[in-house]
Amino acid sequence: MRISLSSKAVVAAAACAVAVLPAGAASAGDGPKPQQDEKATTMSTAPAPEGNPHSRTAQASGVCSDAYQIGNKRYIKRKGQVIGTVRQFYSPSCNRNYGYLWVWQSFRNTHKNYATNIAVYDFNTKKLVGLRQWHRTNAQEFWSGPAATVRHCTAARGMIKARYDSKQSFAYSSKRC
């Protein structure tokens, strides 16, 4: 079999082009909805830092089981230390958004009572939707109520206030439209 010089040049150019293409950076929730085969085959009900719509807390809050993260997480800081993570979730079957707050164990170890809340912030109405609040808690996982905000620009908004603090610490996940 004879291969011409131009055929070799095309193959070499194609190989070089593939080799120099940068790998894309992926961020949780920025891509398309996960495919069924990409999901875990067993549905744990344990809470998780990245959010688990199957957890007991999520189910008690009315989170639909197909919810997945949208946008990017953000961190709640207090006195320069990260104390919580805020994420926004979306359910295609329920057509609802949810806020999710995970309180870091390092904060929980030193604060036995704190107040917290989580909601979806609607940039169109400038209101917190699905707001749920807790006082004198030491829980770790918090979900907002369902928010009918999928046609608006939104972000999850979480707050933690340590007992005796004069100010709240809060954060918004990335804005999604």
Res. 119: pLDDT tops 50: yes
Whose structure tokens read 């010089």?
5
Average pLDDT over residues 102-108: 98
Q: Phi first, then psi: what are they for 89, rounded to 5°? A: -120, 155
Q: Phi first, then psi: what are they for 126, rounded to 5°? A: 60, 40
The correct CATH number of 47-172 out of 2.40.70, 2.60.40, 1.10.3470, 2.50.20 is 2.60.40
Which one-letter DSSP state was computed for residue 53? T
Domain ranges of the chain: 47-172
What pLDDT does residue 34 have? 53
Tokens linked to 52: 């688990």
Beta bridge partners of 171: 158
- How far CA 66 is from CA of 23, 118, 140, in Å, comes to 29, 20, 22
Q: Is 0.85 surpassed by the pTM of this model?
A: no
Which one-letter DSSP state was computed for residue 46? S
**Which has the minimum average pLDDT: 16-25, 54-63, 72-81?**
16-25
What pLDDT does residue 15 have? 39
Res. 128: pLDDT tops 80: yes
What pLDDT does residue 33 have? 55
Average pLDDT over residues 67-85: 98
What pLDDT does residue 21 have? 32
- Model confidence at 167, pLDDT cuts 50, 70, 90, reads very high
Tokens linked to 89: 């979730």
What pLDDT does residue 43 have? 80
Average pLDDT over residues 99-118: 97
Angle, alpha carbons 86-88-93 (nearest 5°): 150
**Looking at this protein, which amino acid is placed at residue 6?**
S
Res. 36: pLDDT tops 90: no
Res. 20: pLDDT tops 60: no
